[in-house]
Amino acid sequence: MTDVDDGDTPSFDNVSIDGDYGTFTLTDGNWTYTVDPSKADALNDNQTEQEVFTLTASDGTVQQITVDVTGTDDAAVVSGNFTASKFHREHYRRCRRTNRVRHHHHYRCGHR
């Protein structure tokens, strides 16, 4: 940062600020933004949200830094309890006679 006033050398303190989707860090005049996946995963594919961070220099000058965070198409995650069923041979024979089911592992009795 420069100032046209003679002898005035404003500066910004090193800082780390948590945002809605990540963390903004200013260290020795250089800033970085680190996305927190646990916060940003809720964004849909190509959905863009802005994070605005306001910094105040030692002379009171205010500087805003705007970061665009864009979502990606995350793979679906399946969780919970899963169950399976097994056909009893007699049940399969009865289905086969009444519904002409050839592959019992692909069909349930009465459904195609």
Kindly give the confidence (pLDDT) of every residue in the chain, 112 residues in length, as a single tens digit, with 9 standing for 90 and above: 455 555 678 999 999 999 999 999 999 999 999 999 999 998 999 999 999 999 999 999 999 999 999 998 877 777 777 666 555 555 445 544 444 444 444 444 444 4
**Cα–Cα distance, 111 to 36 (Å, whole number):** 46
CA angle 66, 72, 77 (to 5 degrees): 135
Q: List all residues 6 or more positions away from 104 whose beta carbon is below 8 Å from its beta carbon.
A: 87, 92, 95, 96
Q: Which two tokens stand for residue 70?
A: 């864009």
pLDDT recorded at residue 65: 96
Q: How far apart are the first and last CA of the chain?
A: 71
91 membership: H or E segment, kind and range: helix 89-99
pLDDT recorded at residue 82: 67
**pTM of the shown model:** 0.61
**Cα–Cα distance, 96 to 91 (Å, whole number):** 9
pLDDT recorded at residue 7: 63
pLDDT recorded at residue 85: 59
**Cα–Cα distance, 42 to 51 (Å, whole number):** 15
